[in-house]
Amino acid sequence: MRHRKTPFIFGFLVVPVALYILLVIWPYLQTFGYSLTDWSGASSEMNFIGLDNYTKLFQDSAFLGALQHNLLLLIVLPLATILLALFFAFMLNVGGKSGTGGVQGVRGSAFYKVVFFFPQVLSVAILSVLFQGVYRTDKGGLLNGVLIALGIVDEQHPWDFASNPTFGLWCIMGVIVWSGVGFYLVLFSAAMQSIPKDIYEAAMLDGAKRGTTFFKITLPLLWESIQTAWVYLAIAAMDAFALVSTMTPGAYYGGGPDHHSEIMATLLMRNFITFGKAGYACAMGVVIFFITLVLSVVSLRVTRREKIEF
Amino acid sequence: MSTNTDATTGIPAQRNGGNDEPRKPVKEQRFADGGGVLNVFSHGFLALWAVLIIGPLIWIILGSFKNNAEIGDSAWSWPSHWGFDAFTRAWNKGIGDFFVSTVIVLAGSLTLTMLLGSMAAYVLARYEFRGNRVIYYFFVAGAMFPVYLALVPLFFMMKNLGTVIPWLGLNQYAGLILVYTAYSLPFTVFFLHSFFRSLPSAVHEAAMIDGCSHTRAFFQVMVPMAKSGLISVFIFNVLGQWNQYLLPLTLMQQQSSSDPDRSMLAQGLMNLAQQSGYASDFPGLFAGMTIAMLPVLVVYLSFQRQVQAGLTSATLK
């Protein structure tokens, strides 16, 4: 049987592996090579310039600003999303009326999960159009409409949300949190349901309150899920391209006003497509690659108790 | 376990939120302890978030029935007449074509993704051979990095490929089908790998003893057994590829003025949103968005259990 096995294994693997190497691995590797050249992208002409792109990169104030913004995303997004998701997951699973049967989830928790999770399946294009409507800078915008109705905002001077130099990036983060909470809620909720109910019942018999059970039982047992969520959110925070490029002002790929909501991805695309600096753009790609790599490795080391299947 | 872990959670604001009141003396009360209050409290917050999710969606769908003046005048205006002319306009302005293009590409890419992904995952999961782990980690590593790192070289690779094989180049369905397939493989292989591992081997062994070939055992024994896993990952890929934005944005630009516009739906919608012509037609834009959202909504509501399982299972493994 053994001699029939090898052609079979080969036959099944050759097409997927070839396609994957050609279209995924090879481009990733090429990015490294191009980052050492002054290639414009338009011609086939390129010169090897060593690490010049990288030294230029770290003197480029626009890039350093973008890096800072990405780091801000890296801190705020996971924190906000995980806290909200944990809060809602706890409310869903342990928030219900308790009777003799012990702790129950709230009624309608299936409905809440379906609703909360929905934004996760929407395209960023839909999110972008949706929130361009919500963040509209005149009284026709949903958020301005609500704030005017509440009397917080003057009808003559509506807020400018995503175009605002200070709050623009926070508005983008709002969209990402809005769309992401449901996913992590379902994730944490599944993990919570795998915790045996008798642990809670034993704790409550011993006089523990719900809040206490959350911090002393649920949270420690969820810790691994939370760390995994952190990795996913950190990787998402390095992206955010589509929303920033379409929702913030700026002629090419947004990032405005005046680089105030610039992130590395928008800067990369602008240098590549608009400015014709393909080599420089690749150098940015490599920096993002290494930040992502370091983040993943650090997080995986922290979660090394898990069987790492990535 | 308790105090140390608490300190590392980083949730100081919630830590002492009414948890440490003195114990109630009556034993029966402990069970109902705070239950009623907490129940109202949780329903309040959950309902609030549900409104925050549903509200904007309904508001925007309503917007596709308003006219421009109504949309600009106030967020609270109500459509003066109910008609589908905005939907017709959006469909004719390109959404219809984008819809068809997307369906064409997805028909090809999903078939290829499922076929190649399950074949690779199966071999990697059930057969021992040199290099098995290397290839597996190779696939899985691809899921870790943002797609746009590969964009610049990928763009030129497809461009060069197009000069050799015209139907595989930029702005070609076949080219995009291959790219979608390649970028969907990491997650598909990762997911199905663990799924094929979890299947019992007895049936497979019985088939082999009966003289079944490896290929036939895969298609006639293992694939039917893996049906539920295949459905989950299929739905995941439908949603992921339907919503893909960055790849078509880079690869499906018109190469010349005679080149037909083969934009994908998400990309086309975004283009319309940014075109000046559409700036004065918000109802049309909102209607376009509704059209793009409907298939996702239908798939999601019909398969929400599998969708949730499929999307979250990767992290729970």
Q: Which amino acid is residue A91, in one-letter code?
A: M
**pLDDT higher than 70, residue B16:** no
- Which residue would you say has higher pLDDT here, A102 or B204? B204
Q: What is the token pair recorded at B55?
A: 């509200």
Of A287, A233, A263, A303, give the one whose Cα is nearest residue A76. Answer: A233
Question: CB-CB: which of B18, B148, B239 is closest to A241?
Answer: B148
Cα separation, B127 vs A8, in Å, equals: 10
Question: CB-CB: which of A20, A146, A296 is closest to B182?
Answer: A20
So what's the pLDDT on residue A95? 63
Range of the domain at B224: 87-316
B148–A285: do the CB atoms touch at under 8 Å? yes
Closest-CA distance of chain A to residue B53, Å: 7
Closest-CA distance of chain B to residue A177, Å: 11
**A200 CB neighbour count, 10 Å cutoff:** 21
Domain membership of residue B9 (yes or no) is no
Q: What is the mean pLDDT of chain B?
A: 78
Residue with tokens 């925007």: B60
Please give the C-alpha separations between residue B129 and each of A85, A254, B222, B309, in angstroms, as whole numbers.
42, 49, 19, 31
Residue of B nearest to A125 (CA): B266
Return the minimum-mean-pLDDT range out of A214-223, B216-225, B262-271: A214-223
**pLDDT higher than 70, residue B1:** no
So what's the pLDDT on residue A129? 85
So what's the pLDDT on residue B5? 37
A141–B20: do the CB atoms touch at under 8 Å? no
- Residue in B67, B315, B316 to test binding to A, most A beta-carbons within 10 Å: B315
Q: What is the token pair recorded at B92?
A: 């004719």
Positions of chain A with pLDDT under 50: 1-3, 99-101, 306-310
Beta-bridge partners for A37: A48
- Which residue would you say has higher pLDDT here, A100 or B240? B240
- 3-class SS string, A34-78: HCCECCCCCCCCCCECCCHHHHHHCCCHHHHHHHHHHHHHHHHHH
- Highest mean pLDDT among A249-253, B41-45, B120-124 belongs to B120-124
* Number of domains forming the structure of chain B: 1
CA A129, A133, A135, A141: dihedral to nearest 10 degrees?
180
The CA angle B92-B93-B97, to the nearest 5 degrees, is 70
Per-residue pLDDT band at B13 (split at 50, 70, 90)? very low
- Residues B68-87: tens digit of each pLDDT: 777 777 777 777 777 788 88
So what's the pLDDT on residue B251? 87
DSSP B165: S
Residues of chain B with C-beta less than 8 angstroms from the C-beta of A191: 316
A125–B286: do the CB atoms touch at under 8 Å? no
Residues of chain A with C-beta less than 8 angstroms from the C-beta of B146: 235, 238-239, 265, 288, 292
CATH code (residue B305): 1.10.3720.10
Whether the CA torsion B296, B301, B302, B303 is positive or negative: it is: positive
Q: What is the token pair recorded at A125?
A: 């294009």
Cα separation, B3 vs A46, in Å, equals: 59
Cα separation, A148 vs B302, in Å, equals: 38
So what's the pLDDT on residue A105? 65
So what's the pLDDT on residue A241? 82
Question: CB-CB: which of A30, A125, A289 is closest to B269?
Answer: A125
- 3-class SS string, chain A: CHHHHHHHHHHHHHHHHHHHHHHHHHHHHHHHHHCCECCCCCCCCCCECCCHHHHHHCCCHHHHHHHHHHHHHHHHHHHHHHHHHHHHHHHHHHCCCCECCECCCCCCHHHHHHHHHHHHHCCHHHHHHHHHHHCCCCCCCHHHHHHHHCCCCCCCCCCCHHHCCCCHHHHHHHHHHHHHHHHHHHHHHHHHHCCCHHHHHHHHHCCCCHHHHHHHHHHHHHHHHHHHHHHHHHHHHCCCHHHHHHHCCCCCCCCCCCCCCCCHHHHHHHHHHHCCCHHHHHHHHHHHHHHHHHHHHHHHHHCCCCCCCC
First to last CA, chain B: 23
Per-residue pLDDT band at B277 (split at 50, 70, 90)? very low
Q: What is the token pair recorded at A154?
A: 């003057």
- Residue in B152, B242, B244, B264 to test binding to A, most A beta-carbons within 10 Å: B152
Domain membership of residue B229 (yes or no) is yes
**pLDDT higher than 90, residue B112:** yes
Per-residue pLDDT band at B104 (split at 50, 70, 90)? very high
So what's the pLDDT on residue B81? 77
- Residues B167-188: tens digit of each pLDDT: 888 888 999 999 999 999 988 8
**pLDDT higher than 60, residue B23:** no
**pLDDT higher than 90, residue B197:** no
Beta-bridge partners for A99: A102
Of A115, A128, A267, A134, give the one whose Cα is nearest residue B266. Answer: A128
So what's the pLDDT on residue B126? 87
Residues of chain A with C-beta less than 8 angstroms from the C-beta of B238: none
Cα separation, B124 vs A209, in Å, equals: 48
So what's the pLDDT on residue B3? 37
Q: What is the token pair recorded at B125?
A: 């999961």
Q: What is the token pair recorded at B108?
A: 């090809």
Per-residue pLDDT band at B17 (split at 50, 70, 90)? very low
**What would the mean pLDDT of B9-37 be, rounded to a whole number?**
44
So what's the pLDDT on residue A304? 56
Cα separation, A39 vs A53, in Å, equals: 11
So what's the pLDDT on residue B119? 92
So what's the pLDDT on residue B30? 45
So what's the pLDDT on residue B22? 46
**pLDDT higher than 90, residue B314:** no
So what's the pLDDT on residue B153? 87
**pLDDT higher than 80, residue B37:** no
**pLDDT higher than 50, residue B7:** no
Please give the C-alpha separations between residue A131 and each of A134, A178, B72, B79, B277, in angstroms, as whole numbers.
5, 11, 15, 20, 20
Residues 182-241 of B with CB under 8 A from A: 182-183, 185-186, 189-190, 194, 208, 213-215, 218, 239
Residues of chain A with C-beta less than 8 angstroms from the C-beta of B182: 19-20, 22-24
CATH code of the region A60-302: 1.10.3720.10
So what's the pLDDT on residue B6? 37
Question: CB-CB: which of A22, A114, A187 is closest to B315?
Answer: A187
Cα separation, B37 vs B49, in Å, equals: 19
DSSP B24: P
Cα separation, A103 vs A202, in Å, equals: 11
Of B112, B223, B218, B96, give the one whose Cα is nearest residue B174. Answer: B112
Q: Which amino acid is residue A9, in one-letter code?
A: I
Whether the CA torsion A26, A31, A34, A39 is positive or negative: it is: positive
Return the minimum-mean-pLDDT range out of A26-35, B116-125, B241-250, B255-264: B255-264
So what's the pLDDT on residue A100? 44
So what's the pLDDT on residue B18? 40
Reported as type and span, the H/E element at residue B133 is helix B132-141
So what's the pLDDT on residue A300? 67
- Helices A124-134, B282-302: inter-axial angle, 10-degree rounding: 130
**pLDDT higher than 90, residue B266:** no
**pLDDT higher than 90, residue B162:** no
